[in-house]
Structure 1
Amino acid sequence: MVVLCKLKALTLLRLGYPQSSSSILKLFFVGDVKPSHFPLQNLLLCRHFNSEISETHHDFTVNYLINSCGLSPEGAISTSKWVELRSPKTADSVLSFLRNYGFSETQMSKMVRSCPHLLQLHPEKTLLPKLEFFASFGVSKKDLATTLQYEPKLLAMSLEKRIIPTYDFLRSMLSQKKVASVFRHGSWIFVEGHSKKVAPNIKVLRESGMPQHCISMMLTCHPRALILKPKDFGQLVDEVKQMGFNLQKSTSVMAINALCAANRSTWNRSCEFYKRWCSVVKVLLLKGLINGIENVSLGSVLVPPEKCFLEKFVARYTDEVPQLLSVYQGRVEVQDV
């Protein structure tokens, strides 16, 4: 009898019937008999049976991720650790919904790989309201697909508790069009929400004297700096001020963004290189060999590669200033030339 029940349960599974573990165990045990009443042999068989059920679901999930979602075998095995599909019904409806909404197969594959839980969401009840909300403030279907392939977790966030409050916060400072720009450049804000980092960091900027038009520029064009913890962000703003940037001008926004994105060791090397760009130019200006207005600009100093800079500002003037290369190398001070 036990064997027959087991065969029946496995047959139902393999025919695609979505059976819960509890319903299958009822088929297996045939009644509400306590496990302690079973002989050891039956308990061992039960354990083996549960293991086989788990393996069956796992195999189905891996195969589905490969065949329907375009994941590699390795990617499917890794992703299957985070999701268990018991039947293709819900997952198929999710993929079909996204496909009809304009998502490409490649985009959907990336989304599933990053957020496999997506396959278990209800298309009409969970996905559609969010997509319609984003469209309501000007996000095109193309931008939606492009953004969500990298931030699919956004579709799993609560519309009422997370997405709409964040939109309202942004809308209190920005036009609807600019909020759509924030979605394109900083969709993580909608995922994480605004209360923990974005709002406190904007408060830091305001208390430091940054006007609203600069804050708007940071939100719409350079929002990644706002992902820092408020304490770290405050230190970064102080560092930008110490470097001489005026927080009332848009250049300070670009400086904050650059400092936030830069690797510290790379940043320090770049600063050192810049100081040596500048020492050479200062010597040439003091010697009257170049004119600060006609012959040199910040772009002509900072933009060219090192080789071009050496040719234009060092090698050309070594006859007039033999120590110029040493100045560039930091071995001679400007005042000693």
Structure 2
Amino acid sequence: MLRRRLPEASAFLRQLLGRGSHEGRAGAAASPPFRHFIEHLTGAAASISHAPSDLAADTARGGARGGDPASLTVHFLHHSCGLAEADAVKAAARVRLRSTKNAHAVLALLRDTIGMSPAQVARLVAAHPAVLASSTIGPKFGFYLHELGLSAAEARRFLLASPNRFLTAGLDSRLRPNHRLLRDLLGSDDNVHAAVKQSIELIYENLEVTLLPKLQALRDHGVTEKVLVKLVTTHPKAVVHRSTRFDEGLAAMKDFGVAPDSGIFPYAFGVFAKIYQSKWDRRIENYLSLGWTEEQVRRAFIRHPYCMSVSDDKVRQLMCFFSEKLGWNPEYVSSSPIVLSFSYEKRVLPRYKVLNILVSRGVIKKGIKMSKLVISEKQFMERYVSRYQEAIPQVLKVYKARTGCAVK
């Protein structure tokens, strides 16, 4: 008998939950604790929960009769934003939604305009729930995408990396003034785009404080405008971060003998200024442990500054390979240190295999020289693969093969 009456009891309790909307009396609506008790009792929570699209209308009605913004917010965060219930409760403590109209519009922008996945939306909202209450996010996305020229993927990356600054920087007080300043300094929208992609701080920071004084110091050091443009577009973090390292960089360039008007200056200064001294010292020690001299390290840095950005593990692996397979010593490698930046598994090893076959067949008679690793992909294919693939088919086979032992 009890089992036969349960559906009727459950229906009665659900009807009781909805009495407030039918009778129009604020006191008739079930209070949140009472509602939760009945839902738990009947197991009807899922069947009576409202779809996200209905929340705005529910909020308008609930607000008129004293609805609970906290409960609405948790519901929206959980069902519309994809947060786990516990995370939704935590996030609701930092934002209150009295209407979901704006929040739905924000979600549409995140998903449709910059292509954020549900997981990315949940991650953003959990970290910065105030985004749902933003009334300026639409115009800001317009600036980032159309005026600044970021792609949707770039805007998405910057937003997730620093949501607070991305969303709170003033459009007319900071973003557009910085954009105009950078365009005047760098000469073109393409250069501005390139610089900002390297460091979004160029759009957020007070450039009159963080950037312009450093640029003037570089001019006083003898750096030309052409070199300044190249520095800001390739290594902007060197001139917007760490003022102490900036000063050390100027001294180091003088010590290395890097002329301030030379083409290598923006790269050498940029790399040096971005590496903390402790890390710089470790990199030098690593080279010395592999048989290099300090003079060879200095020479390599001046010729190819990025050799100091290569990880210690990768340098050790490549130097071991060059020494054992090719008989190259530190003196020879330091004369063309760009080889240390090459991918071992995608460039060095496949080219070595091709060249080694050609050496064994007597096609190459003077051994494998550095130039054969340095030439472009097109040149290597034409000279050593396409030219011999009919007579020696193995060259094409081994060149297309890739190993899985990546070293970064």
Matches of 2:328 and 2:180, distance apart in 1: 60
Higher relative contact order (CA 8 A, sep 6+): 1
Query: Contact conserved, 1:102 with 1:142, CA < 8 A, in 2?
Result: yes
- State the TM-score, normalized to the length of structure 2: 0.53
Structure 2 residue 199 is matched with structure 1 residue 186: yes
* Residue 217 of structure 1: aligned partner: 230
Structure 2 residue 160 is matched with structure 1 residue 149: yes
Query: Contact conserved, 1:62 with 1:80, CA < 8 A, in 2?
Result: yes
* Cα shift at 1:157: 1.8
* Residue 37 of structure 1: aligned partner: none
Render the CA deviation track for 1:284-335: whole Å, top value 9, x for unaligned.
xxxxxxxxxxxxx989x988733553575699799xxxxxxxxxxxxxxxxx
* Residue 170 of structure 1: aligned partner: 182
* Cα shift at 1:166: 0.3
SS at match of 1:247: coil
Matches of 1:144 and 1:259, distance apart in 2: 28
1:159 to 149, 171, 191: 171
Query: Contact conserved, 1:147 with 1:184, CA < 8 A, in 2?
Result: no
SS at match of 1:224: helix
* Cα shift at 1:150: 2.7
* Residue 42 of structure 2: aligned partner: none
Render the CA deviation track for 1:111-134: whole Å, top value 9, x for unaligned.
434433221112xxx233333333
* Residue 279 of structure 1: aligned partner: 293
Alignment of 1:230-269 (within 5 A): 230-269=243-282
* Residue 61 of structure 1: aligned partner: 73
2:141 to 131, 147, 152: 131
* Residue 98 of structure 1: aligned partner: 110
Structure 2 residue 348 is matched with structure 1 residue 305: no
C-alpha distance 311-178 of structure 1, shift in aligned 2 (>3 A) = closer
Structure 2 unmatched runs, 5+: 1-24, 36-57, 297-302, 330-408
C-alpha distance 230-6 of structure 1, shift in aligned 2 (>3 A) = farther
* Cα shift at 1:90: 1.8
Corresponding letter in the other structure for 1:179: V
C-alpha distance 192-109 of structure 1, shift in aligned 2 (>3 A) = farther
Structure 2 residue 283 is matched with structure 1 residue 270: yes
Q: CA RMSD in A?
A: 4.1
C-alpha distance 268-200 of structure 1, shift in aligned 2 (>3 A) = same
Corresponding letter in the other structure for 2:150: V
C-alpha distance 158-298 of structure 1, shift in aligned 2 (>3 A) = closer
Corresponding letter in the other structure for 2:105: S
Matches of 1:198 and 1:298, distance apart in 2: 26
Corresponding letter in the other structure for 1:192: E
Corresponding letter in the other structure for 2:170: S
Structure 1 unmatched runs, 5+: 28-52, 283-296, 319-337
- State the TM-score, normalized to the length of structure 1: 0.62
SS at match of 2:287: helix
* Cα shift at 1:69: 2.3
Corresponding letter in the other structure for 1:139: L
Corresponding letter in the other structure for 1:201: K
Query: Contact conserved, 2:114 with 2:155, CA < 8 A, in 1?
Result: no
